[in-house]
Structure 1
């Protein structure tokens, strides 16, 4: 089994969090959905289903970053969250719509798709943690997605068993495994540490670990939704 840690310097808050739910983290990073993407055998209807749900996920993800602006306690944190929000709403969602079109999915279909229960459970959990807690709680809930995709696709890019030539999912792998997204993940790891510096005493670690573990389990549910076309 190859490394499933993100590109960063040890020991970070992220190291501590995923070490406390290693079984769930491995189940997420090595899920069958990912295995079938790696060898190009994932049925295309499963990937289309995932892409359509991911569009809805991005909408709620943007709401989470808007909440991060509100929850921020410094101008610097507000600007950072606002920059990410702008990137999601005005750049990434446009790229996602374009990518979906290459798979035969029109924007109208994305706007009309019914939200899957796994999607709803995960996105509402992230928002709930942000509303109930502070900005650190919110970023910990977001971390399995933001950092996890980089971890997964970096491993796929480096694994000789991954089939890139002729793989219909190569662009997806390279998008999250490429330098641009890897840099986003590195900054997310650093941001967790910066936020934790003044907020994460020993008495908070139990709840932060619980949030991270639950978000990871819900990420597994997202793969399950895609693999088995669950609604």
Structure 2
């Protein structure tokens, strides 16, 4: 996967490198990769991640509404259908393996971190244009792809039966997920090419805000294990 050092998205990431690293190398994902993450922390994360998926789907529905041409319309529609018709079903199945039923998920209250993150994304999309919305969503899709690749290169990562969380890591390091992240990266770089400095500043702030909310989402899981 070749990246230009001057690609707009990489410039955006570099402007907030400390925040991005704190997200991508958070203790939650380090413990997950090592297989030492407390079960309660992962279960809490899985429950809230289901609720995040619900609002993630709403965000892609908003992207459909914000679309300006048939390509963007199809892009938003395909992403929405992928979440509703595939990802949510797979997530429910995976939760069941961790003792979390679909009935549990249906009555689950949203944590403050989930509320803050998902409503920020939706509010950003409502206030701004399609690019604003994509940038608010970017830390999730692009971040999980980067995290999975980084974890697989670390000596502390355990794969296979030695790690109860290996299936999670395998999902995000998969060719399919990595390809989806790369497609989004290319779209963002195309849309951000040659933007004026003031506009890049606005997008950089959105990117940083969403990344900080992702950090809170990881921390939420660790905090749940200490209660």
TM-score normalised over the length of structure 1? 0.93
Q: Equivalent residue for 2:151?
A: 156
Q: Equivalent residue for 1:196?
A: 192
**Contact 1:12/1:189, CA 8 A, preserved across alignment:** no
Pairing partner for 1:125 from 98, 112, 120: 120
Q: Is 1:180 equivalent to 2:176 in the alignment?
A: yes
- CA distance in 2: counterparts of 1:110 and 1:20, whole angstroms: 37
TM-score normalised over the length of structure 2? 0.95
Which secondary structure does the structure 2 equivalent of 1:229 belong to? helix
**Contact 2:30/2:151, CA 8 A, preserved across alignment:** no
Segments of structure 1 that go 5 or more residues without pairing to the other structure are 1-6
Q: Equivalent residue for 2:163?
A: 167
Q: Is 1:25 equivalent to 2:27 in the alignment?
A: no
Q: Measure how far apart 1:227 and its partner are.
A: 1.0
Q: Measure how far apart 1:155 and its partner are.
A: 1.2
* Structure 1: 4+ residue segments shifted above 6 A: none
Q: Measure how far apart 1:197 and its partner are.
A: 4.0
**Contact 1:164/1:170, CA 8 A, preserved across alignment:** yes
Pairing partner for 1:37 from 27, 32, 35: 32
Which secondary structure does the structure 1 equivalent of 2:189 belong to? helix
- CA distance in 2: counterparts of 1:125 and 1:16, whole angstroms: 23
CA-atom RMSD in angstroms: 1.4
After TM superposition, the structure 1 stretch with the greater mean CA deviation from structure 2, 185-194 or 48-57, is: 185-194
Q: Measure how far apart 1:203 and its partner are.
A: 2.1
The 1:8–1:92 alpha-carbon spacing in structure 2 relative to 1, beyond 3 Å, is farther
Q: Equivalent residue for 2:65?
A: 70
Q: Measure how far apart 1:8 and its partner are.
A: 4.3
Which secondary structure does the structure 1 equivalent of 2:208 belong to? helix
Q: Equivalent residue for 1:4?
A: none
Pairs within 5 Å for 1:3-14: 7-10=1-4, 11-14=6-9
Q: Measure how far apart 1:22 and its partner are.
A: 0.7
After TM superposition, the structure 1 stretch with the greater mean CA deviation from structure 2, 158-167 or 71-80, is: 158-167
**Contact 2:56/2:118, CA 8 A, preserved across alignment:** yes
